[in-house]
Amino acid sequence: MKKRYEALLALDTGGKEESVKDIIDQIEKTLKTEGAEIEQIQRLEKRELAYEHKHLTSAYFVNFIFAAEPALISTLRLKLKLDEHVVLQNYLQLSAKKKVEVAV
């Protein structure tokens, strides 16, 4: 049974802000290829990191909200760890989306 997740990713754009869209599109493609159903992509902004990570002091943050099988999270962690643009990644399981009933 699929569950809802939130993936917060910190991206290293290599100083090229114009490449952010391409990087996000590639990550979205990876998620879909692995079987995730993307609900929302929140493009946040470039922010300073709390601590230096591999000589990087700031990163561009993006938040993906998606539905996937629980086993897929470990696969995504490994796959995105190999992506040179993904610096940090954090996953959080969300509550199920509430269905709204309309009274007629």
pLDDT digits (tens, 9 = 90+) for 14-68: 777 778 999 999 999 999 999 999 999 999 989 988 888 878 889 999 999 999 9
pLDDT of residue 52: 85
Asked, for residue 99, whether it belongs to a domain, the answer is no
pLDDT digits (tens, 9 = 90+) for 71-88: 999 999 999 999 999 999
What range does the domain containing 17 cover?
Answer: 3-93
Asked, for residue 102, whether it belongs to a domain, the answer is no
Q: Residue 22: which CATH number?
A: 3.30.70.60
Alpha-carbon distances of 21 from 10, 28, 44, rounded to whole Å: 14, 10, 12
Query: Coil, strand, or helix at residue 39?
Result: strand
